[in-house]
Amino acid sequence: MEYTEDHFLFPLVTEPKSRWEKAGLSPRQERSFNRVSLLLVALFLTGWLYSIFLAPPADLQARAPVARIAGALTRTPLAGDAPPEAAFVTEQVVESFSRSYQRDIGMLSGAVRVKVLKPGEALTAPRGLPRGAQVQMQPTQGTAGAAVDPAAGTQNPGIWNVVLKMADALRPASDVAVITLVPLSAKTSGRIGGYRIGAWPFERGGAPKPIYEPPPGLVKVTPENMNLWLSEHVQLKDFITKGQNDVWPKYVAMQPQVLDKVELTLQELERSGTPVKNIFVVSAFRTPSYNEGGGNTAGRASLSRHMYGDAMDFCIDNNGDGRMDDLNGDGRVTVADGRVIGEAAERVERAHPQMVGGIGIYAPTGGHSGFVHLDTRGYRARW
């Protein structure tokens, strides 16, 4: 073999046999280097694992910062002896729980703020309940009784706040209220206490359809709870039947589904360019007694959905004067403004067939400036 001058000036370079091979080390030195490196890595891993899993709690503050944080985050932040490092986790738990609970109760619109329980019905615990936390129902002002376990149900009618019990603290879980109904069996001779209600058409049975069966119970309304927001735009007092002004408590039938339909319609109006800041509720619940003979009964059906708590007559009233606003921008308040709301409700029913029901448009008269009727009777009705 002939060797050129370049061969001696630039010796043949070979590729390293391993990633550990270092330039300038002899094979024997390289083997020693590899053994020492592996030993150091093993010692590091052993110490790291011991600091996380085997070190006694009293040694917590002496651990490395990474191990201290890992230990804090793996412990439940709701424990009575939870470390300060986990305090921020508690806030995140409450916020996450509140969002989850609101989604479960808020229905399609996300704007409903109440859950209605029939007498004796238990509240299903929301998903994602953190370990170490308990759900309780705390009575609001005017509601009798102590805190109860929602899974056990309660016979006490009233309005309840849902709270999370964490260690020794109670934290509000959400702005959603739970309403437990007064059973219809509390009615005697057409009254509950001094409040006159009357009798539903098929109260003794024989209803032609389930939607005509009397409501399972009524919401007890007091001066203390009447301002409760049932949804983003509707308060409990909006369901009170006209008359009997000085009689308390009052009683109303109310079904959250009609709240959902109204809120979906208002959201549809907003999307189509009609702003909604306030609504004026002309009528929601009517007692059977009032529906039969109270005020002007012209146009009232003997099986009006208002008696069942799933109907509402309202208008858009952004300026708060108790009258329909000029929604179509023609400078007048006419039946055409009611049609703007009715058309939005039609689009809601097409998008959400479970919301099908009645849509009625009422032109202005001497007694009112026009309104729209919505209900969730379960079949299409128009007038």
Q: Which helix (H) or strand (E) holds 360?
A: strand 358-362
| Mean pLDDT score across all residues of the chain | 82
Q: Which of 61-75, 235-249, 289-303 has the highest mean pLDDT?
A: 235-249
Question: What pLDDT is stored for residue 127 in this prediction?
Answer: 63
Partnered with residue 373 across adjacent β-strands are 313, 360
122 pLDDT above the threshold of 90:
no
Partnered with residue 183 across adjacent β-strands are 217
Per-residue pLDDT band at 234 (split at 50, 70, 90): very high
Question: What pLDDT is stored for residue 216 in this prediction?
Answer: 92
Mean pLDDT of 297-308: 84
> CA–CA separation, 172 vs 80, rounded Å?
18
> CA–CA separation, 283 vs 124, rounded Å?
32
Token pair recorded at residue 307: 């008696």
Question: What pLDDT is stored for residue 19 in this prediction?
Answer: 53
Asked if 371 and 315 count as a contact pair (C-beta separation under 8 A), the reply is: yes
Mean pLDDT of 335-353: 98
Digit-coded pLDDT (tens) for 182-193? 999 999 999 999
Residue 268, SS3?
helix
Look up residue 76 and give its amino acid.
Answer: T
DSSP 21-53: --TT--HHHHHHHHHHHHHHHHHHHHHHHHHHH
> CA–CA separation, 315 vs 312, rounded Å?
10
Asked if 358 and 267 count as a contact pair (C-beta separation under 8 A), the reply is: no
Partnered with residue 134 across adjacent β-strands are 165
Burial class for 52, CB neighbours closer than 10 Å (0-12, 13-18, 19+): middle
Asked if 364 and 343 count as a contact pair (C-beta separation under 8 A), the reply is: no
> CA–CA separation, 283 vs 374, rounded Å?
11
Asked if 261 and 345 count as a contact pair (C-beta separation under 8 A), the reply is: yes
Mean pLDDT of 37-63: 63
Instruction: Determine the straight-line distance between the first and last CA of the chain, rounded to whole angstroms.
Output: 108
> CA–CA separation, 178 vs 159, rounded Å?
6
Q: Report the candidate in 241, 249, 224, 244 with the shortest Cα–Cα distance to residue 139.
A: 224
Q: Which residues in 119-139 are b (16+ Cβ under 10 Å) and which e?
A: beeebeebeebbebbebbbbb
Question: What pLDDT is stored for residue 274 in this prediction?
Answer: 98
Q: Which helix (H) or strand (E) holds 288?
A: helix 288-293
Q: Report the candidate in 339, 349, 338, 351 with the shortest Cα–Cα distance to residue 378.
A: 349
7 pLDDT above the threshold of 90:
no
pTM (2 decimals)? Answer: 0.74
Q: Which helix (H) or strand (E) holds 381?
A: strand 381-382
Token pair recorded at residue 88: 């921020």
